[in-house]
Amino acid sequence: MKRTTTTLADGRELLYFTADDGGVPDLHDPRRLPMVSTTSQLRLDPLLDEWVMMAAHRQNRTHLPPEQDCPLCPSSEGRWTEIPAPAYSVAIFENRQPSLSMGARPPEGDLRHPLVPVRAGLGRCEVVCFTSDHHARFADLSAEQARLVVDAWADRTEELAALDGVKQVFCFENRGPEIGVTLAHPHGQIYAYPFVTPRTRRMREVALRYRGRTGRDLHADVVAAERSAGLRLLAETAHWVAFVPAAARWPVEVHLYPLRRVKTIPELTDAERDDFATVYLDVLRRCDRLYDAPLPYVSAWHQGPVSDPEDLGYLHLQLFSVRRAADKLKYLAGSESGMNAFVTDVLPEDVARRLREA
């Protein structure tokens, strides 16, 4: 993999990733842009002990523009986008309207609330463009292109984790307007958080208690149980396993685990990265064959936090969708939104069977 780094007109970093023999695109951004907002802040919810990101400047961000105005497409003469090149393989740049910023300033004023500390929203948010083809999906990528994306995730995880104050790096893709995507171009994002996220904290607490009771690794035992049962298994290769979890919360939910325990994407070997690209593309294509339209989904990498003194991290990917039928979506209503207590409409075994048959 070859990485080329440059800056956009407002000083944000832009990185191009190509195969080792790939050419270097044009690097000049001729636009005149205002400076990026540095007003992001964090406030601690005292009832849940969770940090909430406040980014009021994101309220007016670009929302589902027509293709001719897509900011993630390659640039052409007379129309300049966030990527000043006529074509690209994988491009990653700092978000223009970030939830977190390394330039965030301490907020001014007093909340007059002694239980809610406030601090600058320090961190980094990046946009990951998987391909220059506006009409492609991740599922349309070749195995080689998908592997390049994996290498780019690994590169960014390693570099962002080294930033001062970053506690966790999260790579993810939101796909489909049903999920709330605001840009149709195939892309994902990376958040470098200044805290360990609530979901990760909870999983680590559960895994630590499980180790205390059994002396064993919870994630490894979950993987072993699914492989042994076979009921919900979708694929198993030399390095990866994909399955619908037995207690799935979402109408469509698939977990992908490496068979060798690693904590982060950079730790994956070349063989494991190649194998993931193949398995992941197969899962995505099966998901898109469930209904007459591409499946809306969130694809979330769960990496160990930057500091893992208890040695609990086990890298895995969780993909889930709100579509519960061809013409129906699952909305998070009272029990889910109010109490975080999920009610599922379909059995995981039935979903696994349909995905195997797709």
pLDDT of the residue at 77: 83
Residues 6+ apart with CB under 8 A from 71: 62, 65, 81, 82, 183
| Three-class DSSP category at 6 | strand
Work out the percent of the chain whose per-residue pLDDT is above 90.
Answer: 93
pLDDT of the residue at 109: 87
For residues 188 and 152, is the Cβ–Cβ distance under 8 A? no
pLDDT of the residue at 26: 65
- pLDDT tens digits, one per residue of 179-232: 999 999 999 999 999 999 999 999 999 999 999 999 999 999 999 999 999 999
CA distance 163 to 170: 14
Bridge partners of 240, per DSSP, are 258
- pLDDT tens digits, one per residue of 294-303: 999 999 999 9
Binding residues for Zn(2+): 70, 73, 134, 185
What is the identity of the amino acid at 119?
R
Minimum mean pLDDT range among 24-28, 102-106, 322-326: 24-28
For residues 84 and 28, is the Cβ–Cβ distance under 8 A? yes
Asked if the model's pLDDT at residue 12 lies above 70, the reply is: yes
User: Known catalytic residues?
Assistant: 187
pLDDT band at 358 (very low <50, low <70, confident <90, very high): very high
Asked if the model's pLDDT at residue 256 lies above 70, the reply is: yes
pLDDT of the residue at 78: 85
- The single-letter DSSP state of residue 165 is T
Closest CA to 26 of 66, 77, 63: 77
What is the identity of the amino acid at 31?
R
- pLDDT tens digits, one per residue of 50-74: 999 999 999 888 899 999 999 999 9
pLDDT band at 15 (very low <50, low <70, confident <90, very high): very high
What is the identity of the amino acid at 166?
V
Asked if the model's pLDDT at residue 27 lies above 90, the reply is: no
For residues 233 and 243, is the Cβ–Cβ distance under 8 A? yes
**Domains assigned to the chain:** 2-195 (3.30.428.10), 199-357 (3.30.428.10)
Residues 6+ apart with CB under 8 A from 47: none
pLDDT band at 24 (very low <50, low <70, confident <90, very high): low
Q: Helices 198-214 & 218-229, crossing angle to 10 degrees? A: 80
In the Cβ-directed half-sphere of 109, how many Cα atoms lie within 13 Å?
A: 5
pLDDT band at 250 (very low <50, low <70, confident <90, very high): very high
pTM for this structure? 0.97
pLDDT, average across residues 124-135: 98
| Mean pLDDT, all residues of the chain | 96
pLDDT of the residue at 21: 74
| Three-class DSSP category at 319 | strand
pLDDT of the residue at 124: 98
CA distance 152 to 93: 12
- Burial class from Cβ neighbours inside 10 Å (0-12, 13-18, 19+) for residue 245 reads middle
Asked if the model's pLDDT at residue 308 lies above 90, the reply is: yes
